[in-house]
Amino acid sequence: MRILIVEDDTSLVAGLKKALAPAGIAVDHEASGLGAIEVAPSEAYSLIVLDLGLPDLPGQEVLRRLRDKGCEVPILILTALGEVKDKVKCLNLGADDYLTKPFDLDEFEARAKALMRRGIGRPAPVLKCGNLVFETSSASATLGDNPLSLRRREMAVLAILMAHAGKLVRKERLISEIFSFDEPVAPNAVELYIGRLRHKLGPEGPKIRTVRGLGYLMEEK
């Protein structure tokens, strides 16, 4: 999963990235409202976290423009404004949730995950493919009765393949969902994670088939 954080406080963004990293959530960052309006509608985000106190545009205006552009991604508002009228205005403009600063990182993580589960096309709480089970809320997987030890990006790749089991998942989609804009991507990065998953699934687990030149497909059992 991949989210966009629209916030000009870089120290806060660093804290949010750290909180989300163990769940395999990639984070893109935009410090300006105009930048967010440009990039958000064209990317496959699971969530947009939007601060109201941006340097160039009021966050409420950014929210309005995103919804006017047809952006349906869930939006979580962050703000120091805690009055009911401010919350109501944001919700009426199309926000999905509202968190007042300062806030607890555990609460932020819980709200963010809840919105991502609610979002259009997001994975179900439990994904199953044969004897492989993936719990999206805890980012944990079991093969038969045995837990799988997975690294962060291995979890992300596995969740995407299982959510589309029996269907082709293009390599470009995997790259866009597991890497942030500012992360370097090695040419064989996806192949590396696919190879690790195949090894961990072994002969007992579902097979991940390579569709040459296109992407990967997890075969349903």
The residue among 87, 118, 149 that closes a domain is 118
Is 37 a residue whose pLDDT tops 80?
A: yes
Is 33 a residue whose pLDDT tops 50?
A: yes
Q: What is the mean pLDDT of residues 78-86?
A: 83
Q: Examine the domain organization and report whether 102 and 136 are in the same domain.
A: no
Q: Examine the domain organization and report whether 82 and 62 are in the same domain.
A: yes
Instruction: Provide the percentage of residues in the chain whose pLDDT is more than 70.
Output: 93
Domain that residue 100 falls in: 2-118
Q: In what order do the strands lie in the sheet with 168-170?
A: 168-170, 215-218, 208-211
Phi-psi region of 118 (alpha: psi -120 to 50; beta: other; left: phi over 0): alpha
Q: Tell me whether strands 215-218 and 208-211 are parallel, antiparallel or unpaired.
A: antiparallel
50, 77 Cβ separation under 8 angstroms: yes
pLDDT of residue 120: 45
Nearest to 17 by CA among 35, 33, 4: 4
Q: Is the peptide bond before 102 cis (omega within 30 degrees of 0)?
A: yes
Q: What is the mean pLDDT of residues 139-158?
A: 89
Q: Examine the domain organization and report whether 130 and 186 are in the same domain.
A: yes
Please provide the average confidence, as pLDDT, over all residues in the chain.
87
Q: Examine the domain organization and report whether 148 and 105 are in the same domain.
A: no
pLDDT tens for residues 113-129? 888 876 544 445 688 89
| CATH code of the domain in which 138 resides | 1.10.10.10
The residue among 74, 101, 118 that closes a domain is 118
pLDDT of residue 49: 97
In the chain, how many domains are there?
2
pLDDT of residue 216: 94
Q: Examine the domain organization and report whether 136 and 201 are in the same domain.
A: yes
Q: What is the mean pLDDT of residues 186-200?
A: 90
Nearest to 29 by CA among 53, 12, 52, 13: 13
Nearest to 10 by CA among 26, 31, 25: 31
When pLDDT is cut at 50, 70 and 90, the band that residue 171 belongs to is confident
Instruction: Provide the percentage of residues in the chain whose pLDDT is more than 90.
Output: 45
The residue among 61, 86, 118 that closes a domain is 118
Cα 146 to Cα 66, 138, 205, distances in angstroms: 44, 16, 11
| CATH code of the domain in which 28 resides | 3.40.50.2300
Full-model pTM: 0.61
Q: Examine the domain organization and report whether 96 and 197 are in the same domain.
A: no
When pLDDT is cut at 50, 70 and 90, the band that residue 176 belongs to is confident
Is 182 a residue whose pLDDT tops 70?
A: no
